[in-house]
């Protein structure tokens, strides 16, 4: 019943996960890392002061947003590349990458950083940082396999434990590469390690975990992640999505409770949200709450006085057996309808409460507007109302018309027989009274 309610939510639920903030190392940071490293496993060539001064000069122009001049200085240094050692060449390409990245030219930045790690005998800390940058830029460029490869190279250089942030980015890369099983392994690992350190998992990490479980068709796991998102981050969309998942899993009572809580928090702010909640109230036999939800939405201008909303509001009042409230709502809805079915529905309600004058009026409105799903029913309502008013001949004429329709033929014949007998009894009684 609630599949259609869920579709709209699901469409926006699993958006592409954004890449974490990219950090690109400047020359100063690279040198600081190198000097801070107590253990050098490689014999690293010396970065000569003259080369460093030229690179720092290029950086000063880059910092001043003079990209053209910075690149011009680097071009002059590049001409002397044959006389430079591997560390100096790596630093040169790192500067190119830094400048291109600042100029929002990510493709050239990525190509430059790849040249950095291609150089032999550079500090391991420098190589690690650059590999991490390559992984992030590759992910941004949609080169997911390259991102995974860079992260795996980074891991071979890591002497301690892998930080959860790295594991999260690896999960992102696998997710974007549609390798969802691998993505599940790494995002679960990242979140578990983060929590083991006494820290809350980042919101984006949980969003990725939810997306992975959705792709793997694991709705219970999706629901569990949404419960965590609701508890930790309390955003309207998570409440709505959790409600939708409860509905998808057939847990309608929990779905209703979740959406009710979201309503009390002021998170149901669209017509669709309120309509879905009203549907749940109707389904769970709470018609007054159903009606109140729609009435409130219309009063606040969130819901339109449309055919759909008014017709459903009328149904809520009917289920609540509040016919006096249902009739004016359905009459208002009938004005929006292209056929006379709602007028006929009103006529039936009025017949049931012995309001025969208005039942006759609206049954005729129904026939005049036309397009009825069951025209014979309109003639039956007319016939019954006329009979109750003692207008036997007119009633029989309507039952005769109803008999022409297959849907009402049998019932019309039964009413014809009954009214004919009542008419005969009435006439005999009248003659007996007159003879006295």
In a domain, 120, yes or no: no
Residues sharing a CB contact under 8 Å with residue 279, sequence separation 6 or more, in sequence order: 2, 5, 290
> How high is the pLDDT of residue 47?
86
For residue 389, count CB atoms less than 10 angstroms from its CB and return exposed for 0-12, middle for 13-18, buried for 19 or more: middle
pLDDT tens per residue across span 130-183 = 999 999 999 999 999 999 999 999 999 988 889 999 999 999 999 999 999 999
Structural domains of the chain, count: 1
Is residue 203 a part of any domain in this protein? no
Residue 177 is assigned to a structural domain of this protein: no
| % of the chain residues with pLDDT over 70 | 90
Q: Is residue 202 part of a domain?
A: no
The tens digit of pLDDT for each residue in 75-106 reads 999 998 899 999 999 999 999 999 999 889 99
Residue 218 vs residue 11, higher pLDDT: 218
Residue predicted with more confidence, 430 or 314: 314
pLDDT > 90: percent of the chain: 79
Structure tokens, 178: 């549609």
Q: For the chain, what's the residue count?
A: 436
Residue 366 lies in a domain: yes
Least confident of 2-6, 227-231, 269-273, 345-349: 2-6
Taking residues 232-260, what's their average pLDDT? 96
* Predicted confidence (pLDDT) at residue 22 exceeds the cutoff of 70: no
Does 373 map to a domain? Answer: yes
Q: How far, in whole angstroms, is CA 54 from its chain's centroid?
A: 53
Category of 201 on φ-ψ map: left (φ > 0), alpha (ψ -120 to 50) or beta:
beta
pLDDT surpassing 90 at residue 347: yes
The enclosing H or E element of 265 equals none
Q: What tokens does 84 get?
A: 């430079």
* C-alpha 2 chain-centroid distance: 14
pTM of the model: 0.77
Distance CA 178, CA 157 (A): 27
The Cα–Cα gap between 272 and 274 comes to 6
Confidence of residue 30 (pLDDT cuts 50, 70, 90): low
Q: Identify the pLDDT of residue 421.
A: 92
Residue 27 and residue 253: Cα distance in Å, rounded?
A: 60
pLDDT tops 80 at residue 9: no
Predicted confidence band of residue 21 (pLDDT cuts 50, 70, 90): very low
Identify which of 163, 238, 152 has the alpha carbon closest to the alpha carbon of residue 196.
163
Q: How much is the mean pLDDT over the chain?
A: 89
Q: Which residue has the higher pLDDT, 1 or 351?
A: 351
In a domain, 131, yes or no: no
State which residues form the domain around 388: 358-436
Under the banding of pLDDT at 50, 70 and 90, the label for residue 413 is very high
Q: Kindly indicate the confidence band of residue 19, based on its pLDDT and cuts at 50, 70 and 90.
A: very low
Q: Are 298 and 309 in contact (CB under 8 A)?
A: yes
Distance between CA 431 and CA 231 in Å, rounded? 82
Residue 1 confidence (pLDDT): 38
CA distance 431 to 428: 5
HEC profile for the chain?
Answer: CCHHHHHHHHHCCCCCCCCCCCCCCCHHHHHHHHHHCCCCCCCCCCCCHHHHHHHHHHHHHHHCCCHHHHHHHHHHHHCCHHHCCHHHHHHHHHHHHHHHHHCCCHHHHHHHHHHHHCCCCCCHHHHHHHHHHHHHHHHHHCCHHHHHHHHHHHHHHCCCCCCHHHHHHHHHHHHHCCCHHHHHHHHHHHHHHHHHCCCCCCHHHHHHHHHHHHHCCCHHHHHHHHHHHHHHHCCHHHHHHHHHHHHHCCCHHHHHHHHHHHHHCCCCCCHHHHHHHHHHHHHCCCHHHHHHHHHHHHHCCCCCCCHHHHHHHHHHHHHCCCHHHHHHHHHHHHCCCCCCHHHHHHHHHHHHCCCHHHHHHHHHHHHHHCCCCCHHHHHHHHHHHHHHCCCHHHHHHHHHHHCCCCCCHHHHHHHHHHHHHHHHHHHHHHHHHHHC
Q: Confidence band (pLDDT; 50, 70, 90) for 404?
A: very high
At residue 20, does pLDDT exceed 60? no
Which residue would you say has higher pLDDT here, 22 or 108? Answer: 108
pLDDT band, very low/low/confident/very high, at 13 (cuts 50, 70, 90): very low
Say yes or no to pLDDT of 7 above 90.
Answer: no
423 occurs within a structural domain = yes
Determine which of 74-78, 193-197, 308-312, 430-434 has the lowest per-residue pLDDT on average: 430-434
Q: What is the pLDDT of residues 43-73, one digit of tens each?
A: 888 888 888 899 989 888 888 889 999 999 9
């Amino acid at each position: 019943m609630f599949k259609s309610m869920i579709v709209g939510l699901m469409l926006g639920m699993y958006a592409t996960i954004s890449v974490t903030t990219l950090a690109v190392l400047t020359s100063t940071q690279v040198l600081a890392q190198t000097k801070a490293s107590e253990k050098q496993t490689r014999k690293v060539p010396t970065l000569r002061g003259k080369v460093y001064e030229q690179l720092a000069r290029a950086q000063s122009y880059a910092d001043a947003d003079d990209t053209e001049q910075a690149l011009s200085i680097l071009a002059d240094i590049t001409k002397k590349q044959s006389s430079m050692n591997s560390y100096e060449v790596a630093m040169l390409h790192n500067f190119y990458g830094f400048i291109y990245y600042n100029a929002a030219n990510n493709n050239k930045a990525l190509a430059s950083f790849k040249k950095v790690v291609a150089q032999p005998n550079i500090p391991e800390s420098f190589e690690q940082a650059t590999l991490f940058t390559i992984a992030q830029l590759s992910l941004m460029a949609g080169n997911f396999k390259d991102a995974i490869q860079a992260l795996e190279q980074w891991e071979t250089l890591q002497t301690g434990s892998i930080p959860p942030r790295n594991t999260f980015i690896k999960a992102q890369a696998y997710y974007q590469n549609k390798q969802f099983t691998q993505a599940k392994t790494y995002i679960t690992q990242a979140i578990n390690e983060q929590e083991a350190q006494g820290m809350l998992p980042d919101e984006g990490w949980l969003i990725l975990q939810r997306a992975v479980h959705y792709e793997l068709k694991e709705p219970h796991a999706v629901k569990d992640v949404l419960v965590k998102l609701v508890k930790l981050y309390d955003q309207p969309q998570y409440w709505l999505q959790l409600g939708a998942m409860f509905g998808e899993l057939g847990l309608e009572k929990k779905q209703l409770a979740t959406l009710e809580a979201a309503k009390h928090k002021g998170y149901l702010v669209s017509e669709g949200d309120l309509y879905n909640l009203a549907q749940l109230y109707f389904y769970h036999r709470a018609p007054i709450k159903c009606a109140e939800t729609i009435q409130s939405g219309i009063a606040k201008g969130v819901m339109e006085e449309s055919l759909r909303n008014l017709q459903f509001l009328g149904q809520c009042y009917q289920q609540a057996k509040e016919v006096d409230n249902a009739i004016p709502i359905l009459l208002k809805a009938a004005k929006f309808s292209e056929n006379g079915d709602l007028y006929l529905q009103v006529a039936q309600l009025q017949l049931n409460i012995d309001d025969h004058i208005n039942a006759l009026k609206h049954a005729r409105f129904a026939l005049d507007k036309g397009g009825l799903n069951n025209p014979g029913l309109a003639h039956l309502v007319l016939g019954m109302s006329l009979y109750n008013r003692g207008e036997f001949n007119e009633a029989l004429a309507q039952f005769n018309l109803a008999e022409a329709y297959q849907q009402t033929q049998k019932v019309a014949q039964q009413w014809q027989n009954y009214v004919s007998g009542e008419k005969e009894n009435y006439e005999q009684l009248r003659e007996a009274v007159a003879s006295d």
